[in-house]
A = this chain, B = another copy of it.
């Protein structure tokens, strides 16, 4: 695996395989790798001739109170892990490479896809995501790009962006990877104290319970969500930010669960904000 820090160097390295008709996969990340990231890299390795992993802690998707400065960074460990997962290129640019002097361009997906769920609590977050993803797709010009379903709203925003800008890239969503007790893998899990780590299991437990209710025939979203909320509220270390049912495609609110529906939540466990979701079929 080769590491590059500049757009120019990356383009030089990709010119030959691209010219030879090889397919290029992009796995955009903020580093601090766990098995979720590695499963994205392996998914690309299965499909693409060249696997490019980008590692950039994107400042524009963090809000003023967010953990941009504390966000875990360990390039050496990440490089080793990406190499072992089969990545060919690790693109880890400095900030002024992604946002060149005079940078002034914003990309924004508007409406239900970004107004609701996390978008309601993190103003500007998805604009930062859309902008940096557009830049990365411009830089790498991949045939496929891989995003985890754990960040479900982000995946939908990226799919919309790519459709609307007619970008010739296939967006591949990859299933959430979970710890043995069900907690969705996240770089932020390392912020959790042992009691918080234990308490955090209630998030997926409540979603799995909701999914069981739907499978058992309950169709009223309000009823399903209320039962899940009861479970979460019994965990004093967890403070729910939202738990909602949304159309799995448009993210519009859902009252009656008929088609593919995402049940998504965000919660603070101590000071750590975690998200999770499951897809249910009505």
Contacts and interface: CB of A to CB of B under 8 A. Distances in A.
Interface of A: 7, 11, 19, 21, 99-100, 102-111, 113, 130, 134-135, 138-139, 141, 160-161, 163-168, 250
A127 to B, nearest CB: 9
B100 A104 contact: no
B164 A135 contact: yes
10 contacts: A7-B166, A102-B160, A103-B163, A103-B164, A105-B108, A105-B161, A107-B108, A108-B108, A135-B166, A141-B168
A76 to B, nearest CB: 26
B109 A107 contact: no
A68 to B, nearest CB: 20
A167 B280 CA distance: 38
Given A7-B166, A11-B168, A168-B11, A105 B160 contact: yes
Contacts of A138: 165-168
Contact of A160 (B7, B104, B130, B141): B104
Contacts of A19: 21
A164 B113 contact: no
